[in-house]
A and B are shown apart, each in its own frame.
Chain A
Amino acid sequence: MYSDVVAFNLVQAVTQWLLTLVVCGGIALLVAVVLSISIGGLSGPSTIWMAVTRGVRDLVSMSPKRIGAIAGLTWKESFRRQDVLVGVVFVLLFMFAGWFLTSTDLDTPAKPYISFVLTAIRWLILPVALLLSCWGLPADIKGRSLHTVVTKPVRRSEVVLGRMVGYASIMTLGVVIMGLVGYVWIERQVPESARHQLVSRVPEYGRLTYLDRNGLPSLTALNVGDMWDYRGFVEGNTKAAAIFNFSDLDTDRLSASDQLQLEYRFEVFRSHKGDIDKSVQAQFMLVNEQSGLKVPYPRVPFEINEFADIQTRSAEDGGREPIITIPRQLTYTPEGELSSKTVDLFDDIIHDGTLTVQVRCVDPGQYLGAARTDLFIRLPDKPFAVGFFKAIFGTWMMAILVIVLGTTASTFVKGPVATLLTFALILTGLTLRPFMSEVLEQYRLSGAVEGGGMLESGYRMVTQMNTQVELPGGFLTDSIQWIDSQMLLGLLLLQNVIPDFTHFDMTPYVANGFDVPWNNSMMPGIATTLAFILPALILGYFCLQWRELEAK
Chain B
Amino acid sequence: MSLSIQNLTANIGDLPILKGITLEVPKGEVHAIMGKNGSGKSTLAKIMAGHPDYTVTGGDVLMDGRSLFEIAGPDERARAGLFLAFQYPMEIPGVTIANFIRAAIQSRLAEGEELEATDYYANLYAKMDALKIPRAFTSRSVNEGFSGGEKKRCEILQMAMLEPKYAVLDETDSGLDIDALKIVSEGVNALRSPDRGFLVITHYQRLLDYIVPDRVHVMVDGRIAMSGDKNLALELEARGYDWVTETAAEPALA
Determine if chain A interacts with chain B: no
